[in-house]
Structure 1
Amino acid sequence: MATASEEQIQEGLTCLFENYWILRADNPERYHQLRRMEKDLKRVLDDRFGLRLHVHTQFIKLEKIPVEPKSWMGITDFQDVMDYTLFACALAFLESKEQNDYFLLSHLVEELNENYPDREALDWTNYRHRTSLVRVVTQLLKLHLMDRIEGDIGRFAQNEQFEALYRVTLYARYFMRTYPEDIYQYKDWHALTHEDNDRLEAHGRRWEAYRRLMMEPVVTRTSENSEQLFNYFRVQRRSIEDFFERTTPFSFELTRDAAMLTLSERKQSYTYFPAQPVIHDILLQLAAQIRSQDPVRDAYGQATLSRQEWLSLIQNVQQTAAAGWSKEFREMTTDRLADRLLDEACAWQLAETRGDQVILLPALVRFSGRYSDDFQKKEGK
């Protein structure tokens, strides 16, 4: 079998990192392309990232394990702890079934009633609890862990007696990663990460560096603990640049306090910042405001603001730039806008919170946004 070209490797890595899995039934052409490159992809993934590629007769899945779990790495459609708890209980229910088993929504509800950690807290007459299950079932369908045969789950939100029919798929048993020990042998979720942490430590900084660059928007030098990692970035800069330029569309950028992968042009396959949402435009304008004020920074390039100082920044941006925003953001209160911007900035690792303080991270001031001169003249700014 011929060795895959760099262009093919780039397409393969993009597909694997940007999708939970590739199902043969949904995309047979892509599945077979990856299958033909299996040996080359496994070599790259093991050498640079220390990640496992699972190739099944019906799907291909890259087991993407971050160095450090982040809050934004969760399921974006989930809203609270109940969503995740119900999701875990539903996964256990599906794994107990055989492939192509049919079941009613009421059967799933009964199982959730039995297995939910705090049974007294689960009340299907509560609208919030019903909508939580709607989000969970919607996600299970989206992941192809079960198929809808009859009934729209959305109607369960209005009526807890609503019934629907589903079928268990082959993939239900392969969603969760496997562990060398029975999961009940682990004391807590931290113990689940020990095996991978040991593998990371055994391979120096390479796997940590490449995983963090590929899975996080930006890697920040936040403390003495990150000094060794940034030393690795500096010493291996040429090698890192070469790898990402050859096998991905990314370029490697390194400053004293931040390391990141950047795109020279927008590509539909990736999620990137800044993108089209209005909130990204506002974050760029906020970044310009911060640059102009030049707040005091610590040895790691971080600026610490009180809640009131953060609100004052947002208010200034509202006063100077809101004319160009969409109606939703123009009419938003300062408090609400401050919370939305902080959530988005934290998701992109441009800021973080510590208690009541807002920490502006170094990458934030790398950006800057302003209206064109023509727009400002039109608005009389």
Structure 2
Amino acid sequence: MKELELLLDHYWVVKDDDKDVFYRVKDSIPEFKSFLNEKLGYGIIINQYLIKLEKIPGSAESFMGIQEFSHPMEYVLLCLLLMFLEDRSRDEQFVLSEITEFIAGNNIGKEKIDWTQYSHRKHFIKVLRFAQTLGLMKVNDGDDQKFAYHDDAEVLYESTGLSRYFVRHFTADIMDFANYLDMENAEWGDLNADRGVIRRQRVYRKLLMEPVVYSQGTEDVDYDYIKKQRGLMEADFSKYLEYSLHVHKNGAMLVVPAEKNIQDGFPNTKAICDITLLFVAQIRESLSEKKLQINPAGGITLSRVAFDEQVAVLKEKTGNNWSKEFREMSPVGLAEKLVAYLEEFKMLRQLYDGREIEILPLAGKLMGSYPEAVTKGSGEN
């Protein structure tokens, strides 16, 4: 169902952005509401401004952060910006200096915000751009990019009123939480998390929100549920999303038809994705030549030095066909990029503070190669 995919693939559907889409999604909700409530435990916020599906993951993963952010301070600044917007009504105007003064007077976190520091201003510009992209606020006059170079730069903004729906509502006081695990468990309270509806909804969420769900061994109750309820789950995902469920010895995943072109899927059109497909093909070649071995968990363990060597070989063999950014990148820099990208899709994990690399089973699911005409044209043998 396209409307369900819209809710899953976007943070929310805003009426002002596209009224036709808004009403189409709203009218279609009864068709899949039972699936969301019973199998995923997801609620839907519907009002005159937006429709938002509360997408809660089955478990917290490092790749689930805001992709535009790269530093903890940016999350702190976002929270402070949301606090500022909380008291602003829809269509109310305000200037940048009002926000910066509010943040300076309401500091949270370990590091004090200092607007005289260029790095702090750059972090805040990222937050402002994110808020504008999501529709929390909009610029009426000025350019907030100037704030990076002049801490007295002014911009006129307008509140959209959507910020009050940005943060998920918790059933418990989050000030009592000690870590992210408390946040995960708050939804269920004292109920047994390994049985009944809790386990079912957690497993459905994992399959939907994660690239792959790996088996953690014979005591893994979630993977046991996937194996036993495979037929029912496959029917649900096929009916409501047209996704197919693949279950293997070491992992299970949903496979999305290529024509759906969802955000942040794999594979995609990014240059780093092409390089990843070439890299895993090279790893499979090394396996076939007995240069590498599969471990009992279905992965491949190698030292970071050996991983970097594999990347250097790949760059030497196929780098002429890459985009300018990656052609000019050093092998060490490329290795860092690949590690981060493979980790994001649960195809790799770092061990012993990065001294060893484990290439995980999902990496063997897909691989890529250039057409023969391309490799010949680049002067390769």
Same fold (TM over 0.5): yes
The separation in 2 between residues aligned to 1:288 and 1:106, in whole angstroms, is: 53
Aligned ranges for residues 40-59 of structure 1 at < 5 Å?
A: 40-59=31-50
Q: Deviations over 1:213-267 (max 9, x none)?
A: 1111122224455x32222222222222222222113211111112111134332
- Note the 1:325-364 alignment, pairs <5 A: 325-354=322-351, 355-356=353-354, 357-364=356-363
Deviations along 1:300-323, one digit per CA (max 9) or x if unpaired, are 212222211111111121122212
1:308 match: 305
In structure 2, runs of 5+ residues without a counterpart are none
How many Å separate the matches in 1 of 2:160 and 2:147? 22
Change (3 A) 1:224 1:312: farther
Q: Are positions 1:65 and 2:61 aligned together?
A: no
Question: For 1:204 and 1:173, how far apart are their aligned partners in 2?
Answer: 28
Asked if structure 1 preserves the Cα contact closer than 8 Å seen for 2:57 and 2:205, the reply is yes
Q: Which residue of 1 aligns with 2:246?
A: 253
Asked whether the 8 Å contact 1:90–1:112 carries over to 2, the reply is: yes
Alignment match, 1:210: 204
What fraction of aligned residue pairs are identical, expressed as a percent? 29
Deviations 1:74-132 (A, max 9, x none): 11111211111111111111113333332221111011112223586422222211111
The alignment status of 1:219 with 2:216, answered yes or no, reads no
How far apart in 2 are the matches of 1:29 and 1:377?
A: 50
CA distance in 2, matches of 1:85, 1:94: 14
Aligned equivalent of 1:276: 269
Moved over 6 A (4+): none
Aligned match of 1:7: none
Going from structure 1 to structure 2, the CA distance change for 1:189 and 1:366 (only over 3 Å counts) comes to: closer
Whether the 8 Å contact between 1:113 and 1:119 is mirrored in structure 2 is no
Where 1:196 maps in the other structure, the secondary structure is: coil
Alignment size in residue pairs? 371
- State the alpha-carbon separation in 2 of the partners of residues 231 and 182 from structure 1: 33
Assess if the C-alpha contact under 8 Å between 2:317 and 2:380 holds in 1: no
SS in 1 for 2:130: helix
Aligned partners of 1:269 and 1:302: how far apart in 2? 27
CA distance in 2, matches of 1:230, 1:164: 52
Q: Tell me the equivalent position of 1:170.
A: 161
Quick check: 2:308–2:332 contact (8 Å CA) kept in 1?
Answer: yes
What is the TM-score when the length of structure 1 is the normalising length? Answer: 0.91
Query: Aligned pair 1:75/2:61, yes or no?
Result: no
In 1, Cα distance between equivalents of 2:335 and 2:41: 39
Write the distance in 2 (CA, Å) between the matches of 1:372 and 1:348: 26
Alpha-carbon contact 1:50-1:207 (below 8 Å) kept: yes
Show the 5 A alignment for 1:176-195: 176-195=167-186
Residue pair 2:170, 2:187 contacting (<8 A) in 1 also:
no
Write the deviation string for residues 13-51 of structure 1: whole angstroms up to 9, x where unpaired: 101100111112222222222222333332110122111
Deviations 1:128-187 (A, max 9, x none): 111111111111112221222221111111211101122222212111111234443444
Give TM-score scaled by structure 2 length. Answer: 0.91
Q: Residue 83 of structure 1 aligns to which amino acid in structure 2?
A: E
Aligned to 1:237: 230
